[in-house]
Amino acid sequence: MNERIKQIVRVIDAAVPVLLALGMTGYCLIFALRATSGVQWPYEWDAFRDIGAAQTMLDGRYPEDPIMRGETLWYNPLTAACNAAFSAATGVPLPRANVLLGPWLQLLTPAGFFVLMWVLFGRWAAVLGLAAFLFGKTGNIPAWNCATYSPWLFAPVFAEGFFYFTLAGFVLVRRKCPASLAGHAMVGLLLALTFMTHTAPAVNAGGVMAVVIMIALWRMRKGAGIKQSGDRSQEAETQTAEVPEPSVGGGAGAWRGAGLPFLLLLAVAFAGSLPYTWSILRDYHFHVRNPWPGLYASSYVELAQFHERLWEACNWRNLVAVLGAAAVLMRAEWRSAALVPFAWVGLAAFFLAQNYAAQALLAHGVLTTTLVPGHHAAIYLTAARWVFFGAGAAALARGLVDLVLRGTWRGGVTATLANAVCCVMLLAAVVAELFALRPYRDWLEMSITHSRTEYAVLYESKTDMYSWILQNTDPHAVFLTDEDGVGLQVVMPAARKLAGSMLLYLNPYVDVQPLMEDRRKMLQAMHDDDSAQFQEIAHRQGVTHFLGRDKGPDGAPAVPPRFFREVHRAGGLVAYEVEAATAAG
């Protein structure tokens, strides 16, 4: 009977964390579906970039750059491919497809985080870390600035899931069968999917794995040296001439056991990412000529806000995370897994520091480039905080039980009680609302009463103009705008070309200064009624349309642009077509 009870306890102990994880994630999913119910149009410009890339796929023009004439893609295409596949299968327009996919595809991120936490530190640390991951976000920070779940299909958030699964697979392969070529090849495929979704998590994951492998090789060689030294001493004592068998720690053994499998992993990742990288390699050789996409710093990671960020870091969540980091180093069963999150923190901190340094140099007129924009580094620092938070909370629960029992009970009873304390801690946090779904714009229904109406006016009013452009303009039409937001919110998702736009959304492998200068000159020629200059530049840039607002900043009707004729008006926007004489010129 006692054995049967123990078996039941073991089953419950294994099932409860999974059920808790499913319950918390399901709770978030319900709110995500409510938040996006009936929404036709995403709010974030990054989503419009993915929609535009998806449109090029549906039009059979992949890997064409959605908004730059004569160029090929530069942004990671997997999110766009998901949009295109869903739209093609269902007939749903791409903006609506993006909204519908968001709550479901983004489940990959908390699922990957939970699996990685379980692999590293066990199921109870995983469920506690997941609670913080889902509900611990600060209210004024968007989901794409920190690690959390979001109803919206943002590529950086979506890519997090692949990052977590890649590291989880790598840890399992290294733990169970470190010399397995097949296992490392599978991890390489996961790394390729990560890279196809977003560059920052792929660089982070690849860097973490490289650190682990380099340390493993160093340990193998060091162990081989110690072993061979000991063998030589024993040989001298026994007067034998036998040569010891080469161990896995030797040079060849280290290569077979760690080096070769990791090179295979990287080779598979490179081959798997070629649908994205081959056109960049062929056309641009990865030579960055427009550094502004990499230099972008959201307000959350602006250098001017650095002191505020440090002050915000002084909170109880980070205190638990620091205690968790200490617990990871102190507990023998966790120590072997400690290298992964610590390497992860180090790399993320390095990339964030690099971005801060680039901002400081830019303030002094020195233009540099960065591999990972600062807010992407912040995402993975936040994620690492939740990793250590979960480990710290689980260690705290175990410590409380050990303190109360004072070593009187051992083994399974102590572990079971510690797990029960974890449940109580989690329940207490929820009841006390220490964690909550934070509004920002991720959870529209939880914002102010009129948020839905305001959202429709701000974003969904663009739907008609977007549809008109898709149905009535050539895929290679080129739009001139005098306001970046108009082009990025309407022209970019339709995958029509822009005669200049915000540098952040222009191809980083192209010198965009001539294009931006031509745009400035065209707008100036329109203002000065200089037909000759406008015609020369417009013809060279292939300009076919102008898109602008129907009212000026003062609310008065906007003055129609020179050299164009009106062809459509909707949602506060007016589309114009270049006049025949100008086009012929």
Count the domains in the chain.
1
Q: What is the CATH number of the domain that holds 546?
A: 3.40.50
Distance CA 421, CA 413 (A): 12
504 in any annotated domain: yes
The pair of structure tokens assigned to 564 is 């164009």
Beta bridge partners of 548: 574
Encode pLDDT of 120-146 as tens digits: 999 888 988 998 898 887 767 777 788
- What is the rounded distance in angstroms from the CA atom of residue 581 to the CA atom of residue 563? 9
Angle between the N-to-C axes of helices 94-105 and 2-36, in degrees from 0 to 180, rounded to the nearest 10: 160
> Which residue in this structure is represented by tokens 């705008």?
481
Q: Is the pLDDT of residue 232 over 90?
A: no
DSSP state of 540: H
Q: Is residue 27 part of a domain?
A: no
CA distance 104 to 61: 28
What are the CA-CA distances from residue 368 to residues 245, 308, 363, 504 (Å)? 53, 25, 11, 15
In percent, the amount of the chain with pLDDT more than 70 equals 84
Helix (H, G, I), strand (E, B) or coil at 335: helix
CB 526 within 8 Å of CB 563: yes
Cα 202 from Cα 204, distance rounded (Å): 5
The pTM for the full model equals 0.90
pLDDT value of position 251: 56
pLDDT of residue 236: 38
On whether residue 513 sits in a domain, the answer given is: yes
What DSSP designation does 196 have? Answer: H
Most confident of the following: 388-402, 449-463, 564-578: 564-578
Taking residues 214-234, what's their average pLDDT?
Answer: 63
Q: Is residue 147 part of a domain?
A: no
| The pLDDT of residue 448 | 42
Does residue 31 lie within any of the structural domains?
Answer: no
**Pairing relation of β-strands 545-549 and 478-480?**
parallel
Task: Using the predicted structure, report yes or no on whether residue 288 has a pLDDT greater than 90.
Answer: yes
Residue 510 lies in a domain: yes
467 occurs within a structural domain: yes
Taking CA atoms, 387 is separated from 85, 95, 156, 353, in Å, by 34, 34, 19, 21
Phi then psi for 478, rounded to 5 degrees? -120, 125
pLDDT for position 403: 67
Does residue 539 belong to any structural domain of this protein?
A: yes
pLDDT tens digits for range 362-400: 888 888 888 778 888 989 999 999 999 888 888 887 777
Check if the beta carbon of residue 126 is closer than 8 Å to that of residue 390: yes
Which residues form the domain of 530?
Answer: 457-584
Top-confidence residue, 34 or 222: 34
Task: Report how far residue 156's alpha carbon sits from residue 379's, in angstroms, rounded to the nearest whole number.
Answer: 9
* Average pLDDT, integer, range 431-453: 58
The whole-number pLDDT of residue 457 equals 78
Report whether 543 contacts 522 (CB < 8 A).
Answer: yes
In the structure encoding, which two tokens stand for residue 437, read together?
């779904």
